[in-house]
A and B are shown apart, each in its own frame.
Chain A
Amino acid sequence: MSFTPDIQAFCCHYTSQQTIAEGREGLKQDGMPDNITINRLVCTGKLQVSTLLKAFEEGADGVYVVGCPADKCHNIKGSQRAAKRVGAIKKALAELDIEPERIEMFHLERGFHPEFIESALLMNKRITELGPCPLKGEKK
């Protein structure tokens, strides 16, 4: 059975500049999978644990956050805070016996770069292999 995961990406304003400049179609040409929804934020440090959990509640099979390199965040420690929160969710997912790899943090340079697409492809491959999130109550 073919499975197309629902993946929610949360990116800060700076690391998602590529999405603004290229638009949906441009990104698609670069190889960005269609099933990834990009949620732009002023800073990943603004992300709350509950926002990321809500994404799973609303049916996401995988969630990832893209923020600035740890030492280059425009807001000093924003992406470090986000990484800590992603870590807390990994722990909670493991407690619920859900694969913690369903959520990930990436630290990427701002602007245009192939790594932005690579992180999307990596998550798409990983979550496709994991199958539907068991939180949906569906069979794998």
Chain B
Amino acid sequence: MIIAERKPINEILSMVADAEKILVLGCRGCVTVCSAGGEREVEILASLLRLGMQKQGKKVEVLEGTLVRQCDREYIETIDHWKGKYDAIVSMACGVGVNFIANLRPSDRVYPGVNTSFFGGSAEQGVWSEQCAGCGNCVLHLTGGLCPVARCAKNLMNGPCGGSVNGRCEIHKDVECIWQSIHDRLGRIGTPEAMNVIAPIRDWSSAGHGGPRKTLRDDLTV
């Protein structure tokens, strides 16, 4: 899922400093799963905004809402329900949600309530780790299912660097060297020879280096 984390409250307060009616808008998608922007977090942020504004002696009305997803046009349309009742929206969705509202509501002021970080998984309760970089050219079939693009600090494609020590990354000692893990795993699944294949220089054009990417599925368009 997409991992995000609430922005510091003072940063959000300064964004909405001159707003008198704020809609705090959560998303029931990824940010609910990573406990960053679901219904519960909306409630907490709304409370903190009221307290923060109150402390500054400002009057503020905070509305709370949560959409099924903020990355679909259909769901964004449902914010019409609050039309005229807010003069700023704090979106607690990932950055996609903020962009979608900005696209579809050209005159609305919309601010991010979270910092969006990476594609990750839940390593343990309350801990998420990056697993995929969304590079658009998946190599997991060559690497035993473990991604060197996302999980190697140097994005290396041909084995570990010289800094790997006892299976640990030289950049972050608490992180496993993903190439060591790939090596061990290829052995376990019976394809150790895959380590001998030299990956050519990578074409990064699919990784967003050529501007915003777009996916078109003809079978789904109407």
Contacts and interface: CB of A to CB of B under 8 A. Distances in A.
Given A49-B44, A50-B43, A53-B44, A95 B51 contact: no
A50 B47 contact: yes
A94 to B, nearest CB: 10
Interface in A53-92: 53-54, 56-57, 92
Nearest to A85: B44
Nearest to A88: B44
Interface residues on B, range: 10 to 19
A53 B55 CA distance: 14
A92 B55 CA distance: 13
Given A48-B40, A50-B43, A57-B50, A95 B8 contact: yes
B190 interface: no
Given A95-B8, A95-B10, A137 B44 contact: no
Contact of B47 (A53, A95, A97, A136): A53
Given A53-B51, A98-B55, A136-B54, 11 more contacts: A48-B43, A49-B40, A50-B44, A54-B47, A57-B50, A57-B54, A95-B9, A96-B9, A98-B51, A134-B55, A137-B55
Contacts of A21: none
Contacts of A96: 9-10, 48, 51-52, 55
Interface residues on A, range: 10 to 19
B48 A92 contact: yes
A50 B48 CA distance: 9
A50 B40 contact: yes
Contacts of B200: none
Given A48-B40, A95-B8, A57 B55 contact: no
Nearest to A84: B126
B118 to A, nearest CB: 22
25 contacts: A48-B40, A49-B40, A49-B44, A50-B40, A50-B44, A50-B47, A53-B48, A54-B47, A56-B51, A57-B47, A57-B50, A57-B51, A92-B9, A92-B48, A95-B8, A95-B9, A95-B10, A96-B10, A96-B48, A96-B51, A96-B55, A98-B51, A134-B55, A135-B54, A136-B54
